[in-house]
Structure 1
């Protein structure tokens, strides 16, 4: 594979990734420790690079001050590959792009270029910074499609939890530009202003809640931002189709059914898979990752032809 441009190499030298934060514990090992007693059958999904898949690591796609934002691409053999950009979760305030490596590898084994991205968390920059970062990553991929053997006309977004909401908003909201052809929202909110979302995300006992920290205030104080960050606000004809994959915890996918209904009204395809008896963050673990991948592959093959 050709070495990416000297401009990118220079950018990598001029900035650094954010240093490790010991309070950022949204990852597979910490989540496993919380869930293993209730779900003793689970295992952390493997992240070993399989035969036939190459990793192009630590590509700088954006820079803010001295902070690099990086992505990793997992590439099968082939030309003009369909691509999936994977956006990690963590309540907008935590998480790592490594969260989606196991899913990226399994997508790559099915013929998709899979790209995991970092973005600015709420402690560094509030809404809409994370959404803008993901959109910047999509533009970077389109600009470097030839080097990565990606088809710039067949790019999808996917994400889990906060990453699912970010992926949806980045794909359909302001600045989306029609560059994303399909979206997979895994247990992420579609409507921050729904009663179910407000019950948890605007809980007065949380000071602030994860969403409140991202928006810089509670719903009563920042209602316009809570609405603007809700993907349901941007349903329109011609938008990208969405696959919703949910856990058995309805709070994390608040607004899903209402958004699917609005999409049907304007003739946009949607689909859903709800995995029974699952916790939030189910995609980090076997046996739940494989049905998540299987549904995603079937959906992407329909909509990234």
Structure 2
């Protein structure tokens, strides 16, 4: 991928005026990757989609999700694992439909997926998005029985900015600052596993700040989300860095990376911390792929395979819920 193409792709993801979706991203990538195709939701399996379900109200804004489920016959065999999918777009753009093709492929592999809205930076700055994703986890767990989902096997995953959000959500279970709805609910917002697809793990590292704190961007995507530069709010940038929270109770984590290292800064250090804490951590790389690879063939299939394999391994069926012969 050329530097020019990568800069153009980043601009699409980070600018609120330009929609960040598969169509706009394809237009930026197709010259460098003429073989790519926009992924769709057609899969060679029976799946069920329930669209536009409200999961939490923030003022006048009812945040919604689309729930994509394995076939009823699969759910009849026992409750299935699930994952909340968080779209990317530089914290300021993007739409939940970006994750629908990935959700369909996960459902075809026996994993339910909730594709969610959350408040973008133009509506509400950090940490509003974190509050929203935790509310989605809470909603999915509270409504799990109605949809054949196992409430003890719910993960969170996201791509790009959504990967950073998903990671921060997953590693801050029990932190009141990040769970606006927790005090009023007995339903947990915990995630039993986390998947970060090409998202930052450390905003404070020099490599991340070279892009996310660049004064020429007036402000950068992260700077707009935080409402302040690193120099003015270093503690806030550190607070939003998932790597700051690793401990022995951190859930298992999978990192799926593109060929563009700058989008997953902090990943290797975080993996080292996870291993040192005795937490399962796996990295899957897709060489020569662009950022936003999960929106396109040929990369969406290995992405779904890696996610399904990881969740199957890390969210095994509890003995108490296994069907008896």
TM-score by length of 2: 0.85
The residue that corresponds to 2:154 in the other structure is: 155
Does the alignment pair 1:60 with 2:54?
yes
Instruction: Name segments (4+ residues, structure 1) moved above 3 Å.
Output: 48-51, 175-178
Q: What is the CA distance between 1:48 and its match in structure 2?
A: 3.5
Distance 1:220 1:46 in 2: 42
Indicate the SS of the match to 1:259.
helix
Indicate the SS of the match to 2:216.
coil
Distance 2:252 2:26 in 1: 32
The residue that corresponds to 1:228 in the other structure is: 239
The residue that corresponds to 2:105 in the other structure is: 106
Q: What is the CA distance between 1:245 and its match in structure 2?
A: 0.4
Q: What is the CA distance between 1:155 and its match in structure 2?
A: 0.2
Q: 2:228 aligns with which of 217, 223, 234?
A: 217
Residue deviations 1:91-113 (CA, integer Å, cap 9, x gap)? 00000000111110000001011
- Whether contact under 8 Å (2:16, 2:93) holds in the other structure is no
Q: 2:202 aligns with which of 166, 178, 191?
A: 191
Distance 1:178 1:75 in 2: 20
Distance 1:285 1:180 in 2: 27
The residue that corresponds to 2:182 in the other structure is: none
Distance 1:179 1:153 in 2: 9
The residue that corresponds to 1:31 in the other structure is: 25
- Whether contact under 8 Å (1:24, 1:95) holds in the other structure is no
Q: What is the CA distance between 1:149 and its match in structure 2?
A: 1.2
- Whether contact under 8 Å (1:50, 1:105) holds in the other structure is no
- Whether contact under 8 Å (2:87, 2:162) holds in the other structure is yes
Aligned-pair RMSD on alpha carbons? Answer: 1.5
Q: 1:69 aligns with which of 50, 60, 63?
A: 63
The residue that corresponds to 1:128 in the other structure is: 127
Residue deviations 1:209-261 (CA, integer Å, cap 9, x gap)? 00000000100011111000000000000211110001111110000000000
Indicate the SS of the match to 1:273.
strand
- Whether contact under 8 Å (1:240, 1:268) holds in the other structure is yes
Residue deviations 1:138-188 (CA, integer Å, cap 9, x gap)? 000111111111111000111000000000001112347672111110000
The residue that corresponds to 1:169 in the other structure is: 168
Q: 2:299 aligns with which of 276, 282, 288?
A: 288
The runs of 5 or more residues in structure 1 that have no matched partner are: 1-20
The residue that corresponds to 1:11 in the other structure is: none
The residue that corresponds to 1:13 in the other structure is: none
Q: What is the CA distance between 1:38 and its match in structure 2?
A: 0.5
Distance 1:142 1:97 in 2: 19
Distance 1:49 1:36 in 2: 23
The runs of 5 or more residues in structure 2 that have no matched partner are: 1-14, 180-187, 317-325
Q: What is the CA distance between 1:22 and its match in structure 2?
A: 8.4
How many residues are aligned here?
285
Distance 1:300 1:71 in 2: 21
Does the alignment pair 1:263 with 2:274?
yes
Distance 1:137 1:56 in 2: 15
Distance 1:22 1:250 in 2: 24
Distance 1:178 1:57 in 2: 22
The residue that corresponds to 1:246 in the other structure is: 257
Indicate the SS of the match to 1:92.
coil
The residue that corresponds to 2:35 in the other structure is: 41
